[in-house]
């Protein structure tokens, strides 16, 4: 599952890169052919990201996760997927409407694109950090189980096995908080945060 999410993030990076190049091409007043090629590449990478998202969805609902985790991860992916979708929409509007950015606002648009690309980079880094924490949590759980099994000579009881559940809580429409729950970490409710 994590490998598929990482592949999705790779496609998102490609969408982001080609979008940025296309916008800069438009702002620099370069040939429309360059812009068209970059817009088509953005569309191609966005389609690949959608294909991976659908593969993740199929895998999750067919066999992988607990029901409560499925919705959390799909909600995260659906929210992330709005970014490449908007990149593609913006480029399509520029291309179909044959928009030209006035020289008066070119520097402002460049700054807006730069800030947007930084925000996208931060979003990707946060998701990668979430995946790394989940991976580390599952590895430590496996080590604890192996240690408990080898020290007692038999399998430990279910209550002593930490079960890591990836939980996504929405505090508001635009802000997301992530927790990886285990018996050694306080849950969101124990921290005084509620959903």
Q: Do the domain assignments include residue 131?
A: yes
170 within some domain: no
**Is 85 a domain residue?**
yes
Is 113 domain-assigned?
Answer: yes
Q: pTM for this structure?
A: 0.68
pLDDT of residue 17: 96
Residue 84 belongs to what domain range?
2-156
Distance (Å) of CA 82 to CA 77, 120, 172, 192? 9, 11, 17, 31
- Identify whether 128 is part of a domain: yes
Residue 163 lies in a domain: no
**pLDDT value at position 110?**
94
Neighbour tally for 45: CB within 10 Å: 23
pLDDT of residue 176: 33
Check residue 181 and give its pLDDT. 35
Nearest Cα neighbor of 185 from 171, 169, 165, 168 is: 165
Total count of domains within the chain: 1
Identify the CA nearest to 125 among candidates 46, 9, 11, 42: 9
SS3 87: helix
Is position 181 within any domain? no
pLDDT, residue 144, reads 73
pLDDT along the chain (195 residues), means of 10: 90 95 87 85 94 88 69 87 94 90 92 95 93 80 69 46 35 34 40 42
Q: Is residue 25 part of a domain?
A: yes
């Amino acid at each position: 599952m994590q490998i598929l999410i990482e592949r999705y993030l790779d496609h998102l990076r490609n969408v982001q890169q080609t979008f940025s190049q296309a916008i800069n091409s438009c702002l620099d007043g370069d040939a429309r052919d360059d812009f068209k090629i970059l817009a088509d590449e953005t569309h191609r990478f966005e389609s690949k990201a959608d294909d991976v998202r659908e593969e993740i969805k199929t895998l999750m609902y067919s066999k992988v996760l607990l029901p409560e985790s499925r919705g959390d991860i799909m909600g995260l992916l659906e929210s992330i997927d709005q970014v490449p979708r908007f990149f593609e929409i913006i480029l399509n509007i520029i291309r179909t409407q044959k928009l030209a950015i006035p020289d008066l606002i070119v520097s402002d648009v460049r700054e807006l694109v730069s800030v947007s690309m930084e925000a996208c980079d931060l979003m990707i880094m946060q998701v990668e950090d979430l995946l790394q924490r989940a991976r580390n949590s599952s590895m430590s759980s496996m080590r604890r189980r192996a240690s408990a099994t080898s020290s007692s000579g038999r399998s430990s009881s279910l209550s002593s096995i930490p079960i890591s559940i990836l939980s996504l809580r929405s505090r508001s429409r635009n802000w997301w908080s992530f927790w990886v729950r285990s018996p050694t970490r306080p849950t969101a409710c124990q921290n005084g945060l509620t959903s």
